[in-house]
Homo-oligomer: A and B are copies of this chain.
């Protein structure tokens, strides 16, 4: 006997996995990594206040979380100076991306993104039968004009932009994004992924009215707040748009410990500043390691650095694989010409030192020196 057939959209999907996780890679190689620098996690960790709040919250784990994330929502409202009705808390940006695509994109409708941008967004678009249109990066940045032009050409429902960008770490001025909004086609929504915004210079953050109906912004506690494993993030937009999530979201889906941790993390401004400083120092450290090895670190407004190997994607792939064998987990962009780079997450100096020691013999073996 066979299983009943799938619905048409999932039946047509590949059994895609957007990312192979480091735990899976470790099992393949039979040993843990010595340095975990591939997933843009934040090894400086969450605020000690958040850690304490999460430890305390364990005792209440027999209770479902607050389905409205009320306390966190109020704190975010105060922090962002926008009404709580313009914010929805969800299971990380990954979860919110899936909900947004489902809310906005019918099967066969067009979505525009950049060639080489966040694969999990593409996964969700395909997952709901949307049709992806991709434009190339320009000078290692997402190309705002090309995104807009393509959005008009294909009558896009959603336009994805990550600012600062993943995987290149590059960014646009907020004013450029504000101007982009005026060029969006009627009926299209700009999805502004700001996962890394806390690491960016102030001028990279666009000024957008809380009730601007043309854009939704997503942020997370996974990066600057050091809580990737907690799965908690939020989206901001026009209250009518945010209300749409109530129709489809999993209301009791956010982990209760994550709610408590995020609330405490948000209140600890000093720790955020500390992390921001550590990340700047780590970016400099990665740049030095790159230079010592004849490679060039690109400027970054995130907690990772794209390092130009000066060679091609095949070389970068070989380097990533070789470092993986040597216990150093990093990743790389998937598409040319971005894939001439390797991508290294910021981390404490001891971990970066492991990278510094692993690189010279790896590069020598690959014939680069």
A residues whose Cβ falls under 8 Å from a Cβ of B: 1-10, 13-24, 27, 36, 39, 41-46, 51, 54-55, 57-68, 70, 91-92, 94-95, 98, 102-106, 109, 127, 157, 187-189, 213-214, 222, 226-231, 237-238, 240-241, 243-244, 246-248, 250-258, 261
| A231-B253 contact given A4-B157, A23-B68, A59-B51, CB 8 Å threshold | yes
Q: Is A261 in contact with B68, judged by CB distance below 8 angstroms?
A: no
Q: Return chain B residues, CB-CB under 8 Å to A95.
A: 250, 253
Partner of A213, one of B2, B64, B92, B237: B2
CA distance A27 to B73 in the complex (A): 14
Closest Cβ of chain B to A142, distance in Å, is 21
Q: Which 6 A-B pairs have the closest CB atoms?
A: A229-B256, A23-B66, A21-B67, A3-B213, A7-B106, A13-B247
Q: Is A54 in contact with B4, judged by CB distance below 8 angstroms?
A: no
Q: Return chain B residues, CB-CB under 8 Å to A51.
A: 58-59, 61
Main secondary structure of the interface of A (DSSP, over half): loop
Closest Cβ of chain B to A305, distance in Å, is 18
Partner of A189, one of B4, B222, B231: B4
CA distance A256 to B54 in the complex (A): 12
Q: Is B247 in contact with A230, judged by CB distance below 8 angstroms?
A: no
Q: Is B62 in contact with A4, judged by CB distance below 8 angstroms?
A: no
CA distance A14 to B247 in the complex (A): 6
Q: Is A229 in contact with B2, judged by CB distance below 8 angstroms?
A: no
Q: Is B229 in contact with A63, judged by CB distance below 8 angstroms?
A: yes
Q: Return chain B residues, CB-CB under 8 Å to A243.
A: 15
Q: Return chain B residues, CB-CB under 8 Å to A91.
A: 91, 250, 253
Q: Is A257 in contact with B7, judged by CB distance below 8 angstroms?
A: no
| A189-B17 contact given A70-B23, A256-B230, CB 8 Å threshold | no
Closest Cβ of chain B to A67, distance in Å, is 4
